[in-house]
Each structure stands twice: as C-alpha cells, then as structure tokens.
Structure 1
C-alpha cells in the first residue's frame, strides 16, 4: 500500500506533504522523516466546520467553543503522498527578463492627481518637480508632496519628468477613505489626543500632591503648637480683663467652702495651690475650679485633667 503521509521519527508527527515536512524541519530542526501508511487525522467540527488534525486540537477547540460533535473525515481526505520536491518554475521569469533585455520597454509619464498638480504649480513649483513629488509621495495629499520636495531638494534629477514602464503604468491612487470617514477618523484621533493629554495632566497633579503631602512635618507641628500657645495667651488675657483684671477675684467663691471637710475639695485645694494659675499670678490662694481661666489653665496640665475626671 502506498504511503499517505510522512511521519517524523523524532516527534511522531504526521504530515500531509513534503512542503509540510520541510516547514516542520525548519521549525524543529528534525530531519528523520519516513513514509507512513497511517493517514493524518481529520476531525471536522459539525457546528462551525473547523478541521482538527489531532485529538489534542479537538479537545482545545471544545474548551474554547463548547462544541463537542466532530465528524471523522480521515479516510475521505487520505491520498497517496508524492515524494517529489516541488520546484519553482523560473522559465516564465527568464523569458520576461530576456524579452526586456532584447526589446526596450516603452516609458510614459505617470498619471497624477490634477488638482494636486495645479495647487503645486500655483505655489510656484515647476511641472516636472510637482509631478515627480506627487508620484513618489503616493498621490495622497499636498502636504506629503511638499514634504517630499523638501527632503529631495538636493537630488540632481528633481526637475526631470518621471518616467515609468508601460507594463508598470498605474493610475493615480485615490484616497481609500471618503470625506465623511476622514472626518470621523480625525475626530477619533482628536479624542485620543485629548484623553492622553488629560491622563498626563492627572499624573502631573498626582506627583505634585505627593510632593506637597511630604512637607516638613516637624516644622508644621512646631508652628501649630506656637499658634495654639499664642491663641491661648490672647484668650486668657481677654477673659482676665473682662472678669476683673486679676486672678484673685476668682478666689472669693471658694471662701464659703473652706469649712467643707470633703476629701475631694481638699485635693482640689492642694492641687490649685501648686497649679499653673498660681505660678502665673504668684499667689498662694485657692482658685475657683469653675472659673474660665482656671479651666483654661487646667487644659494645659495633665494632672488637672486626671484630678477633675471624678468631679
């Protein structure tokens, strides 16, 4: 029985033709091929018609698409394999080359867009230079032609009319997009540019915010403490002036409670004698704990807050 496939002796892959064997050898560097009577598996999906050449490929197709039904067409597609290496026919190319050398080809001026040619001539370009620029820039736009002239201004043959063979003569290419499509494309490009610009601005703002967040924290805290102390002194002076001008006026309210024997009042009295208001006023009398000045002073002392938690 004639062989219907080529089998790779290194990996065991079945190949339909010599071309596939050559491609397999180039990809894997395997060179051990032999003729085999085993046909290449051909499983066709009944849902979408995709051919699968192995069980693994069919399993992958099932996982991707969910198609589970396959038709086995291995015997229908099996054909005897030809071991002859196909050769590229070069006779036609050689005949064309011989004909071109024997008979000179007829050269003609290429066709270009007349509107672009008129615009370039109106700008002051010679006809030959304008035609050459439009032809080699692809007949696309006026800007492309002008750019080509600027780039090739030093060419010696820039003022010569371009010539192309007759068999290569191609009509002027037309724009592939209609004006409406070009407008839509321009709008899409503009939106993309605006989106990229907004992203760039957001990144710049984020960097600036990160730099500003890490401000010298020690200096900031020190400045806040100084401001708090100054504000406290200002308020204390205002209350002192408004309520009598001296801390001693707040001591009279406790004169009637001196005879109280409650231990909590004793603790308050002893603490007030050593507290901050006495040190500021330089007096040893007891201050009224309900006074605004006394309470303001007590906020500055942790011992005051601990003492009056139980009042």
Structure 2
C-alpha cells in the first residue's frame, strides 16, 4: 500500500511515496482506512532524523505522522466497542519505523480511536487527536481549579489554542500571548487577557498578575525564560521534555502525549467538546499525499495558523 516516508533523513524533499506492507491485525486492535493525516512539527523532526537515536531507527522507510481520520475497516478479536465497521473515526498514532500516520491503512490499538465529531470532515477531524490530547494531558497534570489563572504561550498554535478553549470551559482565567496579527484570533479562542508574545513575555504577564499566575502551559517552548511568570508553588507544563531549572518551588510537568495514546475516553471527550462548540477545529489547508514535501515546507516556513493536512 502507499505511504509517505523517507528512505534517508533530510529536508522536505526527502519525503516520497513509498510502498509498505499492510500491517497484520491483532487482538485488541482495529484497522483504519486512512483518508486524512495532520502535519505537525513532530513530523518534520522525525523526517529530518531528530529522533533517530531515540527511536533506534534500524531500517527504512520511516513514516511520520501522529493524527489520522478515516473509516474503521476491521475490528480485531477481543475489542469491546460500540463502533462498527464503516464508521468514520479519528485516532492518534505513536510512530515507529513504517508505522506512522502517513499511510493509506494503519492498525492501531482499539483504545487509540474515537468517532469523529458530528459534522466534521475527515481533514478537520485529523487536526484534533494529537494536539487535543496533549492539551488535555497538560491541563490534567496541572489540576488547576475554577477561578485560578493559567498563562498560555504559543496560544495561536494548535496545542495552545486547544488549551485556551478547554481551560475556559473549565472555569479558568486565561492570559495568553499573541503576535499583533494573532491577537484577535486568541481573543476569539477565549483568552481573558492577551499580552504580546516574544522576549519579555514573563514580565508582561507579571504586569497583569503581579503575584504570578497559578499555572503555565508553555506551548511556545520558552522554558526558563517564561518561568518567572508563575508564582511560587505554581504548576507548569512543557511539551519538549523541559523539566524546569530547579530554582524555585515550581511543579514542572513535561507532557508526552504517547502516555495518552490509549486514553479513549479522553479522545472521545474531545469529540464531545467539538460537538458542544467548546473546541474549534482549525484546518488551514489540505494537500494530496504526493504534496507532503510542500506541506512540510509550508509548516517549517512558519506563520501557519491551524493545521495542514494530507489526504489519501
């Protein structure tokens, strides 16, 4: 079957259509006929070889991708589900070797999929699982209470936008960063206070909340530069493994969405949040699978709001 992957690590031009064998279906698993996959920064890192040592890559092709949407094609033995063959589903993929989302057909743990939100197309639905679950995991880790203040950096991005919307639905006050061009978007997502993004953002947050915020979701990967925005004893979530500098009594939680890859109830909760209007699916543009290189170039050039999606 067709997939998009690399036979050697490199720039966007390294991506190519490749043939991969169909994965066998085992107990507790499902097969999804893939219609759409989201393009994320983790995919560009995988393509370039950033994770090669961590993943102990031994053979090619290597297939990126963490989000899929499509049709439930087969249900393995021992799966208890109300889903049926033919249902439209979305899922999260933990990529390894040729097992990545950028393929026409993929086998996943049954608990890695959920029904797509009612009224959402496959391309839009594919933008939700990975970033939505990462946002859910970040908020779960901080366990803030209604009325507390959460700062969000990278609020115009996919992860940050979902954090803002989920946090507001849970009664938190949200202060978020934004470039001038994104300020209206971030306000529409629900931020109560918007400060200018970039160097010095911690100072600008402290100007609004002199005692510091209760929690921080650092989607912009500013790490130690933004920690001063948080009060002593506050909660911090990071998305690239940063565990804090140990300088103050902060509770820093690096989030790794693979830990939520089989949290089906969480994924289905995101579906319900979309249907209730709590979450907004933000699809920027679609490309055919053969246009994966161009999609990666667009993403790496920066400035994309919403998600780029490949279609099969």
Q: Report 1 or 2 for greater relative contact order, CA contacts < 8 Å, sequence distance ≥ 6.
A: 2
TM-score normalised by L of structure 1: 0.15
Q: Which has the higher strand share?
A: 2
Q: Which has the higher helix share?
A: 1
Rg larger in structure: 1
TM-score normalised by L of structure 2: 0.15
